[in-house]
């Protein structure tokens, strides 16, 4: 994950104060358990208040006038409700854009298929490319480093310019040799450590740019066609969105994504199409500097956000994921994932959020 985490700078800007406020928010039924509470910017930290968080789902069900500052975006050929902020052009919110079935499909793909080589993940730098992590986790397998193997072999850059060769493979627990335990990691642990995977053109996090020389596959057709359709409200008239890359973010209970601007794509008139799956979160949309007070909104499973034009210059981030059972709002997903085959996915998604954001790079 990216975004600054300098504790000394933590409260210097309006964006950072909002991040801190929401990160430390505790649901009312857990408030009493917090030992230390302090005050920050007039908000009780460790308690907190979500009354300023915009809830677009509530606007969907309420008929009547929209709150001040919020409008609707009507676009020919796009028949779903789309909301926008009148003072933040280029930002669009499509609540409930995906059905529960579609959400389950993309959650499965995000866990099973998207982390597969040649797509890179945050684990690639440590272990080289690992195939079938999801299957290995379901079967409770263990990743071990091996002396000489033709399986899972991948060259990888150690950071000092030297190329190292890493050999890892999944084995059954019973196959682990004596003394090998310390160099082994459970596949389930690795699954929990998965933070991102990249699809299509591969993003190089160390250079914060796309590395077209890295091997890659095209964005899957179904994801490309979903992104093209959903991008319509943000697209210049007569143009079609070209999905060339995607970043998949995996958030565990205490993960956050610090405020940042995505500026590595050539044409900012094209949107980033951002899909939310799993647990609810708070998303902050700020200004062109961190000094502007950000607007907070809930993102739920199935919501889609578009950021194009001026909105691409705005700081944004995710300070808080809701994983407590009363706040995560994934009951439809829970019923849909009740089959025996899905229990691993259900267990994962009950405490996680996945975000797939699709980009046109050129
Ligand atoms: O998780 C999200 O909703 C936002 C992700 C994001 O901003 C990014 O990956 O650049
Ligand atoms: Fe972003």
Enumerate the domain spans of the chain. 7-106+196-359, 123-193
**The complex's ipTM?**
0.99
The ligand 1 atom nearest the CA atom of 353: 1
pLDDT score at 2: 47
pLDDT score at 165: 53
From first to last of its 362 residues, what are the pLDDT tens digits of the chain? Answer: 444 456 666 679 999 999 999 999 988 766 554 444 444 433 334 467 899 999 999 998 877 789 999 999 999 889 999 999 999 999 999 999 999 999 999 999 999 999 999 999 999 999 998 999 999 999 999 999 887 544 444 444 434 333 345 689 999 988 887 766 667 899 999 999 999 999 999 999 888 899 999 999 999 999 999 999 999 999 999 999 999 999 999 999 999 999 999 999 999 999 999 999 999 999 999 999 999 999 999 999 999 999 999 999 999 999 999 998 778 899 999 999 998 889 999 999 999 999 999 999 99
316: annotated binding-site residue? yes
pLDDT score at 30: 60
Angle at 81 between CA 349 and CA 78, to 5 degrees: 105
Ligand 2 centre from 259 Cα, in Å?
Answer: 8
The ligand 1 atom nearest the CA atom of 281: 3
Rounded distance between C-alpha atoms, residue 281 and residue 58, angstroms:
15
Q: Which residues line ligand 1 (CB under 6 A)?
A: 247, 249, 257, 262, 274, 276, 283, 299, 316, 318, 355, 357
216: annotated binding-site residue? no
pLDDT score at 37: 40
Cα 89 to its chain centre, rounded Å, is: 23
Pocket probe mutation, ligand 1, options 263, 274, 286, max atoms within 8 Å of Cβ: 274
Minimal-distance CA residue to ligand 1 atom 8: 357
Question: DSSP assignment of 225-245, as one string?
Answer: HHHHHHHGGGSPTT------E
pLDDT score at 177: 75
pLDDT score at 245: 98
Pocket probe mutation, ligand 1, options 209, 210, 249, max atoms within 8 Å of Cβ: 249
Cα 227 to its chain centre, rounded Å, is: 16
Q: How many CB atoms lie within 10 A of CB 330?
A: 26
pLDDT score at 8: 64
Ligand 2 centre from 145 Cα, in Å?
Answer: 35
pLDDT score at 171: 93
Query: What is the C-alpha end-to-end distance of the chain, expressed in Å?
Result: 24
Rounded distance between C-alpha atoms, residue 269 and residue 308, angstroms:
5
Rounded distance between C-alpha atoms, residue 241 and residue 232, angstroms:
8
Domain 7-106+196-359 of CATH type 1.10.3720.10: no
Minimal-distance CA residue to ligand 1 atom 7: 317
- Residue of 26, 19, 62 lying closest to 41 (CA atoms): 19
């Amino acid at each position: 994950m990216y975004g600054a985490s300098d504790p000394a700078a933590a409260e210097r800007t309006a964006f950072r104060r909002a991040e801190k406020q929401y990160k430390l928010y505790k649901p009312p039924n857990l408030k009493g358990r917090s030992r230390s509470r302090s005050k920050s910017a007039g908000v009780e930290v460790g308690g907190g208040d979500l009354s300023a968080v915009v809830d677009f789902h509530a606007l969907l069900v309420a008929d009547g006038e929209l709150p001040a500052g919020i409008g609707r975006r009507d676009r020919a050929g796009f028949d779903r409700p789309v909301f926008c902020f009148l003072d933040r052009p280029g930002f669009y919110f499509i609540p409930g854009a995906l059905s529960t079935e579609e959400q389950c499909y993309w959650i499965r793909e995000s866990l099973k298929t998207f982390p597969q080589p040649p797509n890179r993940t945050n684990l690639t730098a440590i272990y080289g490319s690992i195939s079938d992590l999801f299957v290995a986790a379901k079967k409770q397998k263990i990743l071990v480093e091996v002396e000489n193997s033709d399986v899972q072999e991948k060259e990888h850059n150690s950071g000092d310019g030297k190329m190292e060769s890493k050999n890892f493979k999944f084995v059954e627990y019973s196959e682990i040799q004596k003394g090998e335990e310390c160099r082994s990691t459970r596949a389930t642990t690795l699954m929990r450590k998965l933070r991102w995977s990249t699809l299509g053109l591969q993003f190089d996090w160390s250079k914060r740019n796309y590395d077209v020389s890295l091997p890659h596959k095209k964005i899957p057709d179904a994801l490309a066609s979903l992104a093209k359709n959903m991008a319509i409200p943000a697209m210049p008239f007569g143009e079609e969105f070209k999905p060339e890359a995607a970043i998949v973010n995996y958030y565990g209970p205490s993960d956050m994504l610090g405020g940042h601007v995505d500026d590595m794509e050539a044409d900012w008139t094209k949107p980033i199409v951002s899909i939310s799956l799993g647990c609810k979160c708070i998303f902050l949309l700020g200004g062109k500097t961190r000094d502007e007070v950000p607007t907070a909104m809930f993102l739920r499973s199935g919501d889609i956000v578009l950021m194009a034009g001026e909105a691409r210059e705005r700081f944004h981030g995710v300070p808080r994921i809701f994983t407590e059972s009363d706040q995560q709002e994934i009951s439809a997903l829970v019923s849909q994932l009740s089959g025996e085959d899905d229990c691993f996915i259900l267990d994962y998604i009950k405490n996680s959020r996945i975000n797939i954001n699709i980009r046109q790079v050129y």
